[in-house]
Amino acid sequence: MRDLQSRGIRDKRVLEAMRSVPRERFVEEALRAEAYNDAALPIGEKQTISQPSTVARMAELALPDGTGKVLEIGSGSGYGAAVLSCLFELVYSVERLPVLSRRALGTIRELGIHNVHFKIFDGSYGWSEFAPYRAILVTAAAPEIPKPLVEQLEEGGRLIVPLADPRNPEQQTLTRSVKRGDALETESLGACRFVPMVGRYGMPK
């Protein structure tokens, strides 16, 4: 994680957020010596905490300026939400697995972070109650951009989502879309690797 700049991360806000959030608090004690390696680590429930460079890149793609609301789909360990808490005024994070959501909430509060709110739900539906959002970050690979997330994005807002080929789920591309009226302007940003999205708008079973 100490070489994020060499991996292409340039946003000073993002770099400072990555420095300020203690990643070791979001992994099991046995893995804490590996917390700052640029690698994904298991967090239980067949899920992982993304590698630091991926968390930083997705945050940077959201173009944070310290204001606005951001929605995260897939709370996982809560690490990504903690980073986003330094970059947006309010963070809303949805997780379908209760044990992960409750653990993430506990860690976040222990760190004194109070601008992050969690919900246990099918994340592919988003969290419409607090829409629209300045940015939406999806931490699992979907077969296509979920329509509810587009609807919950504000005009000019950014939607960052990894898209996977349903026939070959390991073939994934990171995308960023910008909402322009009723349309999305989408750009592909290269190969990536995420767990599959599960839910109404997730990968087919």
Kindly indicate the confidence band of residue 164, based on its pLDDT and cuts at 50, 70 and 90: very high
Give yes or no for a contact between 133 and 157, defined as CB atoms under 8 angstroms apart. yes
> What rounded mean pLDDT belongs to the chain?
96
- Residue 1, pLDDT > 70, answer no
- Sheet of 183-191, strands arranged across: 116-120, 90-95, 69-73, 133-138, 153-165, 168-180, 183-191
Catalytic residue among 50, 77, 85, 93: 50
Domain ranges, residue 85: 5-191
Report yes or no on 130 lying in a domain.
Answer: yes
Residues ≥6 apart with Cβ < 8 Å to 121: 94, 95, 96, 127
For the chain, the domain total comes to: 1
C-alpha R_g of the chain: 15
| Model confidence band, residue 3 (pLDDT cutoffs 50, 70, 90) | confident
Does residue 199 lie in a domain region? no
The stretch 133-156 carries a mean pLDDT of 97
Task: Give me 11's structure tokens.
Answer: 């946003």
CA distance 43 to 33: 15
Whether 136 is covered by a domain: the verdict is yes
Q: Is residue 200 part of a domain?
A: no
Cβ contacts of residue 129 below 8 Å, gap of 6+?
A: none
Q: Domain for residue 198, yes or no?
A: no
Asked if the structure places residue 202 within a domain, the reply is no
- The CATH number for 120's domain is 3.40.50.150
What is the reported pLDDT for 182? 87
75 is catalytic: no
Per-residue pLDDT tens over the stretch 31-55: 999 999 999 999 999 999 999 999 9
